[in-house]
């Protein structure tokens, strides 16, 4: 395979030196209007970067989002010997990751516990080196989020797994072997971790009840470009035939469907007019018709979607979060913010995570009428929200509070700015360019 055409890669990444402290301040009541290019998907970028561990040759990823999670993962990768170089031009961030000098060494435990997705280094390192030791993952405080499916899959592929106070050690000194693995539920992370591991295993691995999220497909397409053999991409049965080594590749990171949905809610709640480019609205799957029913008018533009509020206004809808192609749990909080200002009532049922309603008390402080019973939240729209001091508990909760803040009377101050930095590429700057009165304050 031809070497990727990389020019002018250098070590720059000013976006990760931004101190993630302080708050976001929004003066509500402004319409959002203009054009925004949707960034590369966080949930695609992270596993794609980890795929570089599998090869001795460079992996070049274009359209990476400038987010803290990308920067933290780059630090973790550098710590284990993956070389990382960046090229920033205009709005485009390209990363070049090369695992030639991969060592078994020091996985930064502090960084790993900050980000759950970093647990995917386990599958890739195990495949390449036959052994990996790392702490159990952290991440957003949105539920227990165990990794038992990942570990059971590694065991089925012939690895031994030992847990101790420091974390987990997974070893397959004679290499991994293909296996039939049936996931108890279609976990995104387990599907990705096992797919990464299976690319270099002996024989065929079948992952049954695999996650079908578009980001899983994006990882599979990149691995295929690196020389992996994977069938069934986009379906719930992935068949991976191991190969001896993976090659260099170039890949463009898929657009972020969650950012797309977030900005759609922001446009509709402000009665704005946003054109969102570079993302296929079909990626929204069930969220597309749900948003339409809630009064978000979206018209395809060829390269994206133009979003306004429907002439009938916003209406309450019922939403149940489900694995793809169901309504994404990562859009649940933003949809709830929208429903706070809709006509009538709606119910949101969260089926994926057991404690993902941390935005509810914050929205209530802004005047929202929400009642939570177990995994169900009933939202009755109110004529107005009012700005106040609130706190973002996770990435999507932060986005929901910003959406509410855009429509609220007065000033909303959102603490927990690091959550915006983790998941959204320059949230403040890009929305300010579309007319939002939004700024970042220190301390
Ligand atoms: C990924 C996304 C996250 C999204 C989630 C669900 C990334 C980096 N993150 O997270 O933004 O909210 O998918 O769409 O892609 N589970 C187990 N055992 C396991 C693995 C998962 O019980 O071994 C459970 C989890 O606790 C959770 C559910 O399965 O209740 C879904 O988790 P999973 O699909 O694995 O989510 P993540 O990959 O962590």
Domain with residue 231: its CATH number is 3.65.10.10
Between 17-31, 227-241, 395-409, the lowest mean confidence (pLDDT) is in 17-31
Distance (angstroms) between ligand 1 centre and the Cα of 358 equals 17
Of 25, 32, 24, which Cα lies nearest the Cα of 435? 32
Same domain, 63 and 162: yes
323: confidence class by pLDDT, cuts 50, 70, 90:
very high
CA distance 356 to 330: 10
Predicted local confidence at residue 425, as pLDDT? 94
* Percentage of the chain modeled with pLDDT above 70: 93
CA distance 438 to 443: 16
116: confidence class by pLDDT, cuts 50, 70, 90:
confident
Residue 277: beta bridge partners?
37, 304
Last residue in a domain, options 199, 226, 252: 252
Q: At what angle do helices 148-156 and 188-198 cross, to 10 degrees?
A: 20
Domain that holds residue 344: 6-39+255-441
Nearest CA, atom 25, ligand 1: 145
Same domain, 92 and 187: yes
Distance (angstroms) between ligand 1 centre and the Cα of 117 equals 9
Please, what sign has the CA dihedral across residues 355, 356, 358, 360?
negative
Same domain, 281 and 386: yes
For residue range 245-295, list pLDDT tens digits in order.
999 999 999 999 999 999 999 999 999 999 999 999 999 999 999 999 999
Distance (angstroms) between ligand 1 centre and the Cα of 263 equals 23
Question: Is 436 domain-assigned?
Answer: yes
CA distance 136 to 119: 7
Average pLDDT over residues 315-331: 98
Q: Which atom of ligand 1 is nearest to the CA of 213?
A: 14
Of 396, 402, 443, 401, which Cα lies nearest the Cα of 422? 396
Same domain, 132 and 248: yes
For residue range 142-157, list pLDDT tens digits in order.
444 589 999 999 999 9
Same domain, 248 and 260: no
Nearest CA, atom 20, ligand 1: 147
Last residue in a domain, options 231, 252, 273: 252
Average pLDDT over residues 352-371: 95
Same domain, 238 and 261: no
Between 92-106, 204-218, 344-358, the lowest mean confidence (pLDDT) is in 92-106
Residue 338: beta bridge partners?
none
Q: How many CB atoms lie within 10 A of CB 109?
A: 15
Predicted local confidence at residue 167, as pLDDT? 84
Distance (angstroms) between ligand 1 centre and the Cα of 324 equals 12
Of 322, 357, 337, which Cα lies nearest the Cα of 143? 357
Q: Which atom of ligand 1 is nearest to the CA of 323?
A: 14
Query: Is 7 a residue whose pLDDT tops 80?
Result: no
Last residue in a domain, options 220, 252, 284: 252
Q: How many CB atoms lie within 10 A of CB 2?
A: 7
3-state secondary structure of 243: coil
Question: Is 236 domain-assigned?
Answer: yes
Q: Which atom of ligand 1 is nearest to the CA of 139?
A: 39
CB 207 within 8 A of CB 223: no
Question: Is 150 domain-assigned?
Answer: yes
Same domain, 84 and 114: yes
Ligand 1 mutation pick, 117, 136, 145, max ligand atoms within 8 A of CB? 145
Same domain, 46 and 17: no
Same domain, 196 and 332: no
CA distance 69 to 116: 10
3-state secondary structure of 196: helix
Where would I find the H helices in 201-279?
Answer: 214-225, 257-269
Distance (angstroms) between ligand 1 centre and the Cα of 119 equals 12
Average pLDDT over residues 163-190: 94
Question: Is 204 domain-assigned?
Answer: yes
CB 330 within 8 A of CB 283: no
Query: Is 4 a residue whose pLDDT tops 50?
Result: no
Query: Is 16 a residue whose pLDDT tops 70?
Result: no
Please, what sign has the CA dihedral across residues 301, 302, 305, 310?
positive
Nearest CA, atom 1, ligand 1: 188
Question: Is 1 domain-assigned?
Answer: no
Number of folded domains that form the chain: 2
Query: Is 10 a residue whose pLDDT tops 50?
Result: no
């Amino acid at each position: 395979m031809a070497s990727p055409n990389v020019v002018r890669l250098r070590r720059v990444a000013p976006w990760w030196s931004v101190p993630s402290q302080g708050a976001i301040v929004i003066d509500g009541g402004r319409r959002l209007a203009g054009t925004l290019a949707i960034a590369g998907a966080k949930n695609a970028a992270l596993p794609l970067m980890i795929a570089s561990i599998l090869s001795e040759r460079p992996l070049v990823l274009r359209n990476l989002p400038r987010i803290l999670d990308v920067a933290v993962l780059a630090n973790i990768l550098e710590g284990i010997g993956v070389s990382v170089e960046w090229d920033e031009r205009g709005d485009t961030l390209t990363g070049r990751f090369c695992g030639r000098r991969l060592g078994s060494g020091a996985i930064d435990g502090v960084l790993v516990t900050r980000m759950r997705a970093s647990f995917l280094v386990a599958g890739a390192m195990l495949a390449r080196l036959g052994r990996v030791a790392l702490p159990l993952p952290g991440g957003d405080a949105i539920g227990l989020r165990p990794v038992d499916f990942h570990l059971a899959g590694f065991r089925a592929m012939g690895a031994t797994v030992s847990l101790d106070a420091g974390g987990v050690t997974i070893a397959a000194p004679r290499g991994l072997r293909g296996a039939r693995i049936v996931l108890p539920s279609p976990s995104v992370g387990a599907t990705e971790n096992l797919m990464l591991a299976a690319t270099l295993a002996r024989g065929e691995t079948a992952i049954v009840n695999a996650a079908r999220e578009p980001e899983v497909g994006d990882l599979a397409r990149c691995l295929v470009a690196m020389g992996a053999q994977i069938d069934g991409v986009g379906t719930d049965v992935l068949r991976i035939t191991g190969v001896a080594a993976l090659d260099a590749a170039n890949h463009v990171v898929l657009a972020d469907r969650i950012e797309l949905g977030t900005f759609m809610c922001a446009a509709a709640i402000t009665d704005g007019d946003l054109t969102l480019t570079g993302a296929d609205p079909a990626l929204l799957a069930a969220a597309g018709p749900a948003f339409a029913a809630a009064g978000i008018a979206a018209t395809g533009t060829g390269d994206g979607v133009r979003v306004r509020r429907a002439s009938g206004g916003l209406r309450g809808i019922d939403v149940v979060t489900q694995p793809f192609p169901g309504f994404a749990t990562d859009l649940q909080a933003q949809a709830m913010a929208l429903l706070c200002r809709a006509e009538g009532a709606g119910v949101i049922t969260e089926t994926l995570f057991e404690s993902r309603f941390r935005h509810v008390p914050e929205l209530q402080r802004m005047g929202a009428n929400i009642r939570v019973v177990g995994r169900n939240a009933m939202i009755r729209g109110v004529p107005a929200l009012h700005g106040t001091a609130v706190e973002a508990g996770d990435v999507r909760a932060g986005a929901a509070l910003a959406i509410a803040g855009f429509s609220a009377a007065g000033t909303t101050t959102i603490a927990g700015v690091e959550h915006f930095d983790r998941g959204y590429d320059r949230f403040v700057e890009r929305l300010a360019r579309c007319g939002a009165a939004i700024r970042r304050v220190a301390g």
